[in-house]
Amino acid sequence: MRIGIFGGTFDPIHLGHLVIAEQSREQAGLDQVWFVPSARPPNKLDREITSFDKRAEMVQLAIAGNPAFELNEIEKDRPGPSFTADTLADLHRHHPQTEFHLILGSDCLPEFPSWHEPARIVSLAKLVVATRPGWPLCSAEDLRFSLRLPRKTPLHLQLVQVPQVDFSSRDLRRRIAEGRSVRYFVPSAVLAYIQDKKLYR
């Protein structure tokens, strides 16, 4: 099995996430994409975020109906910051025969060398990098140089061309807080959930 791992805070999940996941599945030839909500995002430890359960429920609502998409809650009960390297190691322990592909936006690549154990990440998963508006793409060799990886160390990076949807979860939270519409930015079931739970107000 070739599985794409799509991690994130998903606060809230939106149509841009779904487009990236589907285009990555198709263009990288993945069997499935597993959405992995971050329990304690390392870069947001000082911020208030929506509870894990509510974010996971929104993901489940968003991906319902696509048999190639699956919610994975592996980070829910793990203590400490939710480091990608640890998540991939856990996934390998549970699914030793699976080939994992980590789905990233091109906006993540400039900061990737500063992530927790980036060399370990690329040893555990192939990278699938989706284009994002305004963010240049880099080659596998550029990334190898940034990570100071020896030539013999495997590094797999595949670029995925994605229709440019230029909005973020932060934009949507602000819109909701201002009482503005987010219809057509998020799946209708997610919008109904946000309204029912009075999130982001």
Rounded Cα–Cα distance for residues 10 and 170 (Å): 10
Task: Give the contacts of 16 (CB within 8 A, at least 6 positions apart).
Answer: 165, 167, 168
Tell me how crowded residue 133 is: count the other CB atoms within 10 A of its CB.
12
Domains and CATH numbers, the chain: 2-165 (3.40.50.620)
Q: What is the value of pTM for the model shown? A: 0.94
Q: What is the pLDDT of residue 199?
A: 98
More confident residue, 138 or 174: 174
How far apart CA 121 and CA 99 sit, in angstroms, is 13
Angstrom distance (rounded) from CA 56 to CA 62: 10
pLDDT score recorded for residue 151: 83
pLDDT, position 36: 98
Residue 101 CA to residue 122 CA, distance in Å, equals 9
pLDDT of 10-40, one tens digit each?
Answer: 999 999 999 999 999 999 999 999 999 999 9
Which pLDDT score, from 0 to 100, does residue 136 have?
77
Structure tokens at 88: 């991939």
